[in-house]
Structures are given as structure tokens and as C-alpha cells.
Structure 1
Amino acid sequence: MNIHRLLAGLFIALCLSDVGFAMRCKQSLVFEGDSKYIVERKCGPPLAKDIYQDSSLLVNNFDIPYGIASDVYEVWTYQQSPNEFLYEVLFQNGRVIAISANRSF
């Protein structure tokens, strides 16, 4: 499967879901921009982790390739209890870029 299609689908799914800017974990809040370390410290380990990597060719103004840019995306899934929202936290290069909340029942 083409990684670009997968990331585009993931992005669309996150945009169409109930998007929030913060997620409550125990006594703390997780915000966009937080690092993976901060999220795990506040919320503990996630129920699931999905990791994707997107690489693209870098070209100069003359269309001559000079390197490869690589972004790592991770989706961490959290749910405090069966009656709570199912949260998906999207990381890009180790920082939260989106948080979505969906009912799991």
C-alpha cells in the first residue's frame, strides 16, 4: 500500500472525527505540541501504537535530487475505561499534531 495514501486516509479520518485539542489523562492534560515522553509520563503506555514512515525525494530548483526527507508518524490509542472515549493521538517526528476522540460503543 502506498504510504501517501495511508497517511492521507489517516489524516482524513482524524479530520472527520471529533477532533479535540486536549486529552485528559488522570490529573493531567495532553496538548498538541507535547512530546511522546510527556504523553507517556502523563498517560502511561498506550493500548496500541502504529508507526508509519513517509520519505520524499528532495530536489533543488533545477530538479536535481540531493537527498531524502523522512517523517515518522505514530498513532497511539488510549482508553481509560470501556465507557470512556477512545482517543487517538497522532505524532509527527515525536510531537503531538492531532488528538481525536471517538465513542467506542
Structure 2
Amino acid sequence: MDNNRAMNGDGFGIGWYDNPGENSCIFTSILPAWSNINLYRLAEKVKSKLIYAHVRATTGNTSTSESNCHPWQFGNLMWMHNGDIADFQKVKFFLFYS
């Protein structure tokens, strides 16, 4: 094991679409992915052509919370990102209302 790298044990999230164009399904947890029994149970049952997956390592002043675990959704849009979005207030309207 490389002890110089983060283990990304500060939560995780998975998201999927049952059918294209329909609402997404999202499951997040602050537990490490490798120790979450519900993740194993979901992984056995979920069938989708599009699955998002993210494991998290906190950085800086961000907290370990489910609201900080990706992916996120707005309506039927699902997304995740790594880092900050520069000038988010300037682009927020266009992302959500275009």
C-alpha cells in the first residue's frame, strides 16, 4: 500500500438512470465505500447503461457530510465534479435555467 496517497475513505456516492430521460437514483454515504454493506446490496441489483460513481477524500475546510458526496441532481440532471467552479454565481443561472 502507498501511504503517501489519500485512501478516499471520506464517503462515496453512486447514481444511475433506470431509463434514459427519466429521473436519476442516487445513493450516498459518509462511510468508506469498502465498508458499506448497502453498497454491496445495491451493486448486486442495479442495472443501468449509465452509472456515476465517486469516492471522496476531504480536502481543505470541507466537511465529511452526505451533502458533500457526489453525484448530485437537479431535476433529471445528475452530475459530479472535482474542485471549485470559478465564478459559479456568474454561470449558475445558465446551468440551471437554460
- Per the normalisation by structure 1, the TM-score is 0.26
Larger radius of gyration: 1
Which structure has more relative contact order (CA 8 Å, sep 6+)? It is 2
